[in-house]
Structure 1
Amino acid sequence: MKCMILAAGLGTRMRPLTDTTPKPLLKVGGIPLILWHIERLAHDGFTDIVINIAHLGYQIQEALGDGSEWGVNITYSDEQEEGALESAGGIVKALPLLGDEPFLVVNGDIWSDYDFQDHRKLADGILAHLVLVPNPEHNPDGDFALIDNKVVDAKAYTFSGIGYYSPKLFDGVPYGKSALAPLLRAAMKEGKVTGERYEGEWLDIGTPERLELLNAQLMNRY
Structure 2
Amino acid sequence: MIKKALIFAAGKGTRLKPFTDSHPKALALVNDVPLLERNIKYLQSFGVTEFVINVHHFGEQIVEFLEKKNHFGAKIDISDEKHELLETGGGLLFAQKYLENEENFLIMNADILTNLNIHELVKFHETHLPLATLAVSDRNSSRKLFFNSEMVLKGWMNKNSGETKMAESNNAFKELAFSGIHCINSSIFDKIKRRGKFSIMEEYLDLMFENNILGFQHEAKLIDVGRPESVIEAEKYFK
Query: How does the TM-score come out when normalised to structure 2?
Result: 0.82
Contact in 2 for aligned 1:66/1:75 (Cα 8 Å): no
> 2:126 matched to 1:121?
yes
Q: What SS class does the counterpart of residue 57 from structure 2 fall into?
A: coil
Q: What SS class does the counterpart of residue 65 from structure 1 fall into?
A: helix
In structure 2, the CA distance between the partners of 1:152 and 1:81, relative to structure 1 (3 Å rule), is same
Q: Which residue of 1 aligns with 2:210?
A: 190
Q: Which residue of 1 aligns with 2:227?
A: 207
CA deviations 1:71-108 (Å, max 9, x no partner) are 321110000122x1000100001010112322110011
Q: Which residue of 2 aligns with 1:92?
A: 93
Tell me, in whole angstroms, the C-alpha distance in 1 between the residues paired with 2:156 and 2:194: 27
Structure 2 counterpart of 1:57, one-letter code: G
Q: Which residue of 2 aligns with 1:16?
A: 18
> 2:134 matched to 1:133?
no
List runs of 5+ in structure 2 lacking aligned partners: 158-174
List runs of 5+ in structure 1 lacking aligned partners: none
Q: Which residue of 2 aligns with 1:142?
A: 144
Q: What SS class does the counterpart of residue 64 from structure 2 fall into?
A: helix
In structure 2, the CA distance between the partners of 1:144 and 1:21, relative to structure 1 (3 Å rule), is farther
Shift of 1:191: 4.7
Contact in 2 for aligned 1:42/1:71 (Cα 8 Å): no
Q: How many aligned positions are there?
A: 215
CA deviations 1:128-180 (Å, max 9, x no partner) are 111001223xx156233353132221451100010011222232545421111
Tell me, in whole angstroms, the C-alpha distance in 2 between the residues paired with 1:67 and 1:85: 27
Structure 2 counterpart of 1:95, one-letter code: Q
In structure 2, the CA distance between the partners of 1:35 and 1:14, relative to structure 1 (3 Å rule), is same
Contact in 1 for aligned 2:133/2:183 (Cα 8 Å): yes
CA RMSD of aligned residues (A): 2.2
Q: Which residue of 2 aligns with 1:37?
A: 39
In structure 2, the CA distance between the partners of 1:14 and 1:144, relative to structure 1 (3 Å rule), is farther
Q: Which residue of 2 aligns with 1:77?
A: 79
Q: What SS class does the counterpart of residue 96 from structure 1 fall into?
A: helix
Tell me, in whole angstroms, the C-alpha distance in 1 between the residues paired with 2:148 and 2:72: 35
Tell me, in whole angstroms, the C-alpha distance in 1 between the residues paired with 2:43 and 2:27: 17
Structure 1 counterpart of 2:116, one-letter code: Y
Query: How does the TM-score come out when normalised to structure 1?
Result: 0.88
Structure 1 counterpart of 2:19, one-letter code: L
Structure 2 counterpart of 1:160, one-letter code: S
Q: Which residue of 1 aligns with 2:170?
A: none
Residue from 33, 52, 55 that aligns with 2:54:
52
Q: Which residue of 1 aligns with 2:169?
A: none
Shift of 1:3: 0.5
